[in-house]
């Protein structure tokens, strides 16, 4: 089981319900493939540095989870098939990134 973090940008024309449905769909996809969700964050609507698909903004989301490595390829294939996704990035976290993410989560909880 490797530790991963995925950030994805959803199309800004989606309604709030469509966004929640999309996030839930991919969270369920990961859990059904043996993932353990560690953190899930909604960063909201953000302006993009450059236009993607003629859009100047997008809804950002972050998943942090542990899962067997072979599931990542299947997840990214699903992302490519879904037109609601504008961009995505999945990275494997090393021990330093894991500790940084933990400190970041603690700091976010203290602010809330």
Per-residue pLDDT reduced to its tens digit, 28-58: 999 999 999 999 999 999 999 999 999 999 9
pLDDT of residue 112: 72
53: left (phi over 0), alpha (psi -120 to 50) or beta: left
- Domain parsing of the chain, residue ranges: 2-111
E strand or H helix that includes residue 106: helix 95-111
| pTM assigned to the model | 0.91
CATH superfamily name and code, 2-111: Ribosomal protein S6/Translation elongation factor EF1B (3.30.70.60)
Q: Which residues of the chain carry a pLDDT beneath 70? A: none
pLDDT of residue 48: 95
Residue ranges with strand state E in the chain: 2-10, 36-52, 55-67, 85-92
């Amino acid at each position: 089981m490797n530790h991963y973090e995925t950030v994805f940008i959803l199309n800004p024309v989606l309604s709030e319900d469509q966004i929640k449905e999309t996030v839930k769909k991919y969270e369920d996809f990961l859990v059904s493939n043996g993932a353990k969700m560690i953190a899930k964050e909604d960063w909201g609507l953000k302006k993009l540095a450059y236009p993607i698909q003629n859009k100047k903004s997008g809804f950002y989301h972050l998943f942090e989870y542990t899962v067997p490595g072979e599931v990542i390829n299947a997840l990214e294939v699903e992302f490519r098939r879904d037109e609601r996704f504008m961009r995505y990035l999945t990275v494997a976290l090393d021990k330093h990134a894991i500790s940084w993410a933990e400190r970041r989560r603690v700091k976010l909880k203290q602010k809330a």
